Amino acid sequence: MNNPDSKKILWNKAAKNGLVLGLFTAACRILSQFIAGSGIPSAGTAVLNGIIWLLQFGGCIWIMKFLMERLTREFDGVDNRDTARYGRLLALTSSLIFAAAMLSDILFISPETASQQMDLYYQLYGSQIDENTRSALKAIEDNYPRILFFSTWIYSWIYGVILASILSLSIPKKDPFARFMNQNTSNDHE
């Protein structure tokens, strides 16, 4: 995959497939929030959220591995460096989609989440908080959507880069004996 258009191809595929991966992750997270607010007893909520977290964690790994392997099947000459680059681009685009979905959730779907979390914090630690800390917490609450967006984007991207680096070590699969087999084949023809 050393042609001049390879970067363009990787960006194009990463954007399309990053949308799928980002929406899958966002759907798992929103489903988990829905279950938490559904009124199911806390033990049931914990079990269901644990199952959803496992689905999200394992699903993201499986989807990324599948997409990286598909790249090697669709294009000739793809090596481990190409799959690593594609995985990093996939991580960047999917984390951007996921962060945007979380921002949309906090702004439009459940805007009361930030104030509920701060109210809980005030209930737990209200007597121990001085006025300077209260004003700092108020500033955090006012900027919570921006903080959530950037922290989610950075965290998800770093996770994706690490995952892509690990997966690209074995995608495409290497044959450690291929070099020896090629030498023996060329020696046989002489």
Q: What digits encode the pLDDT tens for the residues 150-172?
A: 999 999 999 999 999 999 999 88
pLDDT band at 25 (very low <50, low <70, confident <90, very high): very high
pLDDT at 54 (0 to 100): 96
Dist CA 150 CA 153 (whole Å): 5
Greatest mean pLDDT among 50-54, 120-124, 137-141: 50-54
Classify burial at 120, counting beta carbons within 10 Å of its beta carbon; exposed 0-12, middle 13-18, buried 19 or more.
Answer: exposed
pTM to 2 decimal places? 0.80
100 and 146 Cβ atoms separated by less than 8 Å: no
Dist CA 73 CA 68 (whole Å): 9
- As a whole-number percent, the residues of the chain with pLDDT over 90 amount to 48
Classify burial at 42, counting beta carbons within 10 Å of its beta carbon; exposed 0-12, middle 13-18, buried 19 or more.
Answer: exposed
Tens of pLDDT, residue by residue over 74-97, are 988 888 999 999 999 999 999 999
Dist CA 25 CA 60 (whole Å): 7
Per-domain boundaries in the chain: 6-188
- DSSP H helical ranges for 37-171: 42-74, 80-104, 112-125, 131-142, 144-168
pLDDT at 188 (0 to 100): 52
DSSP 99: H
Choose the weakest-confidence range: 29-43, 111-125, 141-155: 111-125
Dist CA 84 CA 80 (whole Å): 6
- Name the nearest CA neighbour of 113 among 147, 145, 137: 145
Length of the chain: 190
Backbone angles phi, psi at 3, to 5 degrees: -90, 165
